[in-house]
Amino acid sequence: MKAAHAAQGEDLTAEPHAAHEGTRDVDRHAVHEVTREADSHAAHEGTRDADRHTVHEVTREADSHAAHEADAHAAHKATHKADPHAAHKAGDQAAREADPADHRAAREVIDIATGTWRAQALYAAAALRIPDHIAGGAVSCEALAALTGTGEDAVRRLMRLLATMGVFEGTETAGYRLNAVSTLLRSDVSGSMRDMCLIYGEEFHRAWGAVLPALRTGGTGFEEAFGSSLGDYLRDTPGAGPKFQRAMSVGSAPFATVSRAIDFSRHHTVVDVGGGYGTLLSLVLRGNPGLRGVLFDLPHMAPLAHEHLADAVDPGRYEIVTGDVFEEVPPGGDAYLLSRVLQDWDDADCVRLLVNCRRAMGSSGRLFILERVVAEDRSTALPVLWDVHLMLIAGGRERTLPEYRSLLARAGLRLESLEPLPLETSLLVASPA
């Protein structure tokens, strides 16, 4: 079996519940601020000669203006010598007016190409615990450098970039302070996204660095980078499994709406198949006091699930069962949850898993599936982004609605309804065909 159920029950992508929806415009603004001077310089260098060529062409076609153009050209040269900065600005303006579409296209390329720089700057802030230190009163670059064991000049430049990106408020002179974004990078707040930033900046960053070999071989970027599958890595590397689970819990924003989206009053036992350490199940049980829960996952997940559920749910309301979803799913439930599990497997494995759910749920049960559905009209961005991410990390995929209908039909199930959830996640409700 190609991946552990740690990857079944928790999202391999962990989209942040704040960053994915609202940061695209912020990121573009941040890159604009960071690269404005470099972009300006590039525009000047690339357009100065073009401007002179344009003047020459216009002069040749309009002989009546030849003297005027020559005088203007001479004045431009004199201005350039006297005030190079003014000449640069004039060149930039001429470039924008000459072909604004090309200028916007070039900026779009820069925005996309430098995206990894912004991501790694955010990772550095999380890894160095800079938000924790600022919360503790260290607001100067000197103090932050001392606490993080880094060079003061390096911290000064990193903080300038992060503030420009909107991660922090303040300046070097006045001192830096937290805002809503950097607060989520603290390690001691509810809903912290620090662990997510760590795994994205480390393991996932390395996996994406192997995108070309993965595309050429049909393997995963993770295997290219680490020499093992994600599941084996999480199982065999000390501390990797808990780190992964903490990071993936950040992607639980849609979970909070599940209890409102599903009417559990008609159900008595819910089985969370591939439930990880129980984030979704605990939310469902807390929102439905009369409901009993069963968490089903591989044996190595049981200790983490026990720890989480014992803190989150009253004793006696849940049971943890271990096993292999491709062999059997615990019977006896009338509501079955599959949260971001199908995305990890190919079609054949998905059908095997769904058949086992169909057998376990009986004739009157319901299957509730949480996945990102790829919109065929390209109206949503996150599902297609995570589709490629899943391909590189674990060989998984996101699917269109017709593809989900097909999987369900092959397993003896039919799609009853589809309801949108936060962060471009969908709730698919299926019942026996």
277 φ/ψ angles, rounded to the nearest 5 degrees: -100, 15
Burial 204-233 (b: 16+ CB within 10 A, else e): beebbebeeebeeeebbbbbbbbeebbbbb
Sequence ranges of the chain with CATH classification 3.40.50.150: 252-432
Q: Give the pLDDT confidence score for residue 253 in this predicted structure.
A: 67
Domain 115-183 belongs in CATH node 1.10.10.10:
yes
Q: Give the pLDDT confidence score for residue 235 in this predicted structure.
A: 86
Q: Give the pLDDT confidence score for residue 369 in this predicted structure.
A: 97
- pTM of the predicted structure, to 2 decimals: 0.73
CATH number, span 252-432: 3.40.50.150
Which amino acid, one-letter code, is at 386?
W
Rounded CA gap, 16 and 252, in Å? 8
Sequence ranges of the chain with CATH classification 1.10.10.10: 115-183
Per-residue tens of pLDDT for the chain, all 433 residues: 444 444 444 444 444 333 333 333 434 443 344 334 434 443 344 344 434 444 344 344 444 444 444 444 444 444 444 455 555 556 556 555 657 778 899 999 999 999 999 999 999 999 999 999 999 999 999 999 999 999 999 999 999 999 999 999 999 999 999 999 999 999 999 889 999 999 999 999 999 999 999 999 999 999 999 999 998 999 899 989 888 888 887 766 678 788 788 999 999 999 999 998 898 999 999 999 999 999 999 998 899 899 999 999 999 999 999 999 999 999 999 999 999 999 999 999 999 999 999 999 989 999 999 999 999 998 889 999 999 999 999 999 999 999 999 999 999 999 999 999 988 999 999 999 9
- Which residue stretches of 314-428 are H helix? 347-361, 382-393, 401-410
Q: Give the pLDDT confidence score for residue 90 in this predicted structure.
A: 60
Rounded CA gap, 393 and 400, in Å? 20
432 φ/ψ angles, rounded to the nearest 5 degrees: -60, 135
Q: Give the pLDDT confidence score for residue 33 in this predicted structure.
A: 42
Q: Give the pLDDT confidence score for residue 304 in this predicted structure.
A: 87
Q: How many residues does the chain have?
A: 433
CA nearest neighbour of 94 among 32, 51, 46: 51
